[in-house]
Amino acid sequence: MRMMMIGSALLLGALPVAASAEPVLFISIDGLQPADVIEADKRGIDIPNLKRFITEGSYASGVKGVLPTVTYPSHATLVTGASPAKHGIIGNNSFDPMQINQGGWYWYGSDYKLPTLWDAAAKAGMTTANVHWPVSVDVKSIRWNIPQIWRTGHSDDAKLITLLSTPGLVQSLESELGAYAPGIDESIEGDENRGRFAVALITREKPDFTTVYLTALDHEQHGKGPDTPEAHAVLKRIDAIVGQLVSAQMKARPDTVIAVASDHGFSKVDTEINLYRAFIDEGLITLDDNGKIKSWEASPWNSGGSSAIVLARPNDAALAKRVQVLLEKLKADPKNRIAKVASAADIKTMGGNPVASYYVQFELNAYAGSFKGKDAPLVGPSGSKGTHGYFPTEPKMRSSFMMMGKGIAKGRNLGEIDMRAIAPTLAGILGVPLPDAELDAVK
């Protein structure tokens, strides 16, 4: 049974009924904090195109996200309207306790357990397009698809993207625009490149539903920190991309609705907590003579500001107790910066990773470090200036949502909404059903 959304403001008739369904362009700006747009002038950020959504459209003061508040689970929620436990994308990276997958991510559409907005639109006879959206490889309902994927950054990655995109699409656009950016390229120049490809695709094909993902703001906030001049400078350049996308969409489909969302907020960080150190010392992870993982009884599955804890035998009560005691001991020491240890029941309530037996949330300014071998310390300095991935109850993890266009109320503050309400809201604009969404549309 679907849950009713509580506490959101009404759009007051802003959403069209199915009989007058409108095309939608859905833009994601990774790591965009609500205040960066709502309080742009106060923060000294020059983003005229995004500010249009505040004056000419409707916007959320904040969006409560999902567990974990990282890119891939959140983007899957944005197109399914469901929590990670239900849609199946439960982390950025697939679980890899033996560290053999070379950092592989949840790239593949086959991992979705629920229909997406692309599926719903295609089933209704609409055309769909995508540039770089997470978890979009081999989503067969996307008519024109350039998915996000990378491996090593080697030139062979270009062959991979070309092969996994709609046949002939990348080549035809490259003949006009030059080489498409590598998937591993998270720079603002990469975004500007992909923005040009999206503009050309929208102009040429005029899709009914289009998704476009921009990643450079997240990259800059990890590297330099949130709320920094460097992050603001990148956002200004992203704003120019948004302006180009909006212009192309309005020319191609004048009756359009354009939505902008982000996947999570951001926190500054200065400390890295290496749970692998504690699990190795406890004998829950064993290493071979070369310092590589040989076997595991329990393992962290990191998501930035939090870490799922997976047991090799989740029904082994003795193992579960052993891990629980270790986590409680770690939490009791303030230097380890652990704010909370969630139980399996807590995780289920939050709609998080159903494979996890525990979920560790770190204090703000600390995050989970990756496996670095046998000599890495438990607590060390951060290699990053900013991160996310904390529990969705953390206010700093609030993300953004705004939309403007045909039938959308102007200057309307929707208050705080739930991320799971965004996909059904867009489905309503498209005039298509999304019955597996957990919440009703924003109304």
Q: pLDDT tens for residues 172-191? A: 999 999 999 999 999 999 99
pTM: 0.95
Q: What is the CATH number of the domain that holds 354?
A: 3.30.1360
pLDDT digits (tens, 9 = 90+) for 237-288: 999 999 999 999 999 999 999 999 999 999 999 999 999 999 999 999 999 9
257 and 288 together in one domain: no
In a domain? residue 6:
no
Do 119 and 180 have their domain in common?
Answer: yes
Residue 190 lies in a domain: yes
Phi, psi of 284 (to 5 degrees): -80, -20
Tell me, yes or no, whether 131 and 22 share the same domain.
yes
Residue 92 resides in a domain: yes
In a domain, 435, yes or no: no
Here the CATH number for the domain that contains residue 84 is 3.40.720.10
Task: Please report the DSSP string for 227-287 in residue order.
Answer: TSHHHHHHHHHHHHHHHHHHHHHHHH-TT-EEEEE-S---EEEEEEE-HHHHHHHTTSEEE
Range of the domain at 52: 18-266+394-430
- Count of C-beta atoms within a 10 Å radius of residue 436: 18
Instruction: Name the pairing type of β-strands 386-387 and 257-261.
Output: unpaired
Residue 4 lies in a domain: no
Q: Would 2 be classed as within a structural domain?
A: no
Q: Are residues 292 and 356 in the same domain?
A: yes
In a domain, 205, yes or no: yes
Which regions of the chain are under pLDDT 70? 1-20
pLDDT reported for residue 186: 98
H-assigned helices in 333-441: 344-349, 422-430
> Is 124 inside a domain boundary?
yes
Are 165 and 113 within one domain? yes
Which residue has 């460097």 as its token pair?
A: 230
Say whether both 91 and 64 belong to one domain: yes
Same domain? 37 vs 47: yes
pLDDT for 13-50, tens place per residue? 444 333 358 999 999 999 999 999 999 999 999 999 99
Q: Are residues 367 and 424 in the same domain?
A: no
Q: How many domains in the chain?
A: 2
Same domain, 187 and 38: yes
The reply to whether 175 and 298 lie within a common domain is: no
End-to-end CA distance of the chain: 19
pLDDT at 374: 86
Residues 285 and 245 in one domain: no
Q: Which of 132, 159, 157, 160 is nearest to 146 (CA)?
A: 132
